[in-house]
Amino acid sequence: MYKKDYFIKFLGKFTISERRKLQILQEIQFFFNKIKITKKPNQTHFLQYKDYVLKSFAFSSYCFKLSCLNKYLEFLKMEKFKYKYKKNYAFNEEFLTFNDYKKLLKNTTEKENLIIQTFFLTGIRFSELKKLTKESLINKFSFFNKSSYREIPLHSNLKKDLKFYCIKNNITSGPIFLSNYKKPISYTALRNLLKKIAKKSKVKMSKVAKTHNFRRLFILYASEHLDIEEIQAIVGHSNINTTFGYIPVDKKIVLKKINKKFMYNKKATTD
């Protein structure tokens, strides 16, 4: 990294946590590794990197990476090249669709298939995947998260296939999805796995860069079949408005329903 020590001192001027400083440094080092330079970067390097992250990462990750790079541009006194973006989380083209999901399933191994279906059929977060254990297939898939108790219903066919997978792979206890080192699969390993499947399936990689997109798809699909309170309980939202935020409202469809279901009593006019 160009002038790393000076950049660290520069970050010391701001009231940001040590963890955040470390994240910024890691992102800037990632930038240098990707662009493959050691000298002072120029506008061309920054534009190349911007194109790369836009194509390779989900919108929120893209914003985070560029916000870190903006700090470095500030340090280099190259503010005119700083990236401007809106944090618009209704970035619909980046969301996973049901058709994308079906494409992904066609290009998977047994383990990959089960991981993807587990995310879609349960709406769990990545951090909760390790809580899916051999024991939870016998008893119930439940845990405490943010001081609240959650019980996740498992689709009967998924549960059956997970049990069979455990027998085949000699998993007698603990987490079901493991790395080659018999430890719970890491986020980086899983993301790389999903990107590989996306490439084979011709699905935009940024759509699978975050497992959260499967959670979003679960909520969206579940909204057609379950009550909103049931979905809230499954996904563990403390506020029901958070659950509503995942479900887009098509105003044309709403108007169609109003016109069809609501009675309009036209008042006769008199001359």
Average pLDDT for 149-162: 92
pLDDT band at 161 (very low <50, low <70, confident <90, very high): very high
Question: Is 65 part of a structural domain of the chain?
Answer: yes
Asked whether residue 9 falls in the same domain as residue 122, the answer is: no
Q: How far apart are CA 34 and CA 162, in angstroms?
A: 38
Question: Is 189 part of a structural domain of the chain?
Answer: yes
Question: Is 268 part of a structural domain of the chain?
Answer: no
Nearest to 212 by CA among 123, 111, 148: 123
Average pLDDT for 47-63: 75
Token pair in block for residue 115: 């991981």
Question: Is 266 part of a structural domain of the chain?
Answer: no
Domain that holds residue 60: 4-81
Does an H or E element contain 96, and which?
Answer: none
Please count the structural domains in the chain.
2
State pLDDT tens for residues 214-234. Answer: 999 999 888 888 888 888 889
Asked whether residue 112 falls in the same domain as residue 245, the answer is: yes
Average pLDDT for 227-246: 83
Average pLDDT for 55-73: 76
State pLDDT tens for residues 73-113. Answer: 888 888 777 776 544 444 445 788 889 999 999 999 999 99
Asked whether residue 142 falls in the same domain as residue 200, the answer is: yes
Report whether pLDDT(62) > 80. no
Question: Is 183 part of a structural domain of the chain?
Answer: yes
Q: How far apart are CA 133 and CA 159, in angstroms?
A: 11
Report whether pLDDT(162) > 90. yes
Asked whether residue 32 falls in the same domain as residue 119, the answer is: no
Question: Is 216 part of a structural domain of the chain?
Answer: yes
Average pLDDT for 229-247: 83
The string of DSSP codes covering 125-163 is: -GGGGGG-BHHHHHS--EEEETTEEEEPPPPHHHHHHHH
The CB density around residue 176, as the number of other CB atoms within 10 Å, is 23
